[in-house]
Amino acid sequence: MTETLDPIRQSVRDHYATKAQSGSCCDSGDCCDDISRGIYPQELLAELPADVSEFTLGCGNPIGIASLEKGETVLDLGSGGGLDCFLSAKRVGETGRVIGVDMTPEMIERARASAARLGIANVEFRHGYLESLPVEDASVDVVISNCVINLTPDKFAVFKEMARVLRPGKRVAISDVVSNGPVPQSLRENVEAWSDCLGGALEVKEWERGLREAGFENIRIEPKDAGSRTAAQMPPGAPFSAHITASKRT
């Protein structure tokens, strides 16, 4: 039976399925344009082949803010081709575990093939939606995500799912596109703008409210490349890349 999706989710899935099949992520306007500006330290990517290390659609480096430790279980929301999962797997070591969840079958297939080729045994990839994660309650130490939550239609459901799967006191480390004030309606209604990580950008204050209501504390949302400017000082209504951290209340 064919799955029926709403227009935005269908457009986003088709967009990223094409990326997975083509083997190229970077077209003009895509989030992953940042890769050319070095969002990951080169030493972090050194042991990975180019077709893995250069295939990212992210807007930041969640690994850099996650403070991963040996033995931890990491969940990557919207794992795509698997890059952040592979980087996390190295950090948590053989005693740790990494789970990637993505809604695009073509991305799951690509990530699984790369994991098998690279011999990375402590990673697995599951097909699913972020609003209903195929992950057990209180089974995860760290939730990471890289420019994906903005693509989801129901972000508050995603926040609740993050809280559900995290153990008490554990944390999230997210890179995503957010906004200081409402995104223009023209972008909200443009399905291509959603795929380009713009139309679905959530306001910072809504991120804070949603995380707090889901059971998080110690919430920090900081622009990735804004010098000394805070999120509140960013141009109103203009989406920007941010680092988001929080911990689940005990």
In a domain, 187, yes or no: yes
Q: Note the helical H segments in the chain.
A: 7-22, 42-45, 50-53, 63-66, 83-92, 105-118, 155-165, 185-188, 191-195, 204-214
Residue 144 lies in a domain: yes
The answer to the question of residue 37 being in a domain is: yes
Residue 82 lies in a domain: yes
pLDDT in tens, the chain (250 residues): 445 567 667 767 776 777 667 655 544 444 444 433 468 888 889 889 999 998 888 899 999 999 999 999 999 999 999 999 999 999 999 999 999 999 999 999 999 999 999 999 999 999 999 999 999 999 999 999 999 999 998 999 999 999 999 999 999 999 999 999 988 888 887 777 777 788 889 999 999 999 999 999 999 999 988 677 899 899 898 899 999 999 999 9
Flag whether 1 is in a domain: no
CATH of the domain at 67: 3.40.50.150
- Give domain status of residue 34, yes or no: yes
Q: Which residues contact 194 (CB under 8 A, 6 or more apart)?
A: 8, 11, 12, 151, 200
Range of the structural domain that residue 97 is part of: 7-248
CA 109 → CA 88, 94, 115, 143, 205, distances in Å? 19, 23, 10, 22, 36
Say how many domains are in the chain: 1
Residue 97 lies inside a defined structural domain of this protein: yes
In a domain, 17, yes or no: yes
Q: Model-level pTM?
A: 0.89
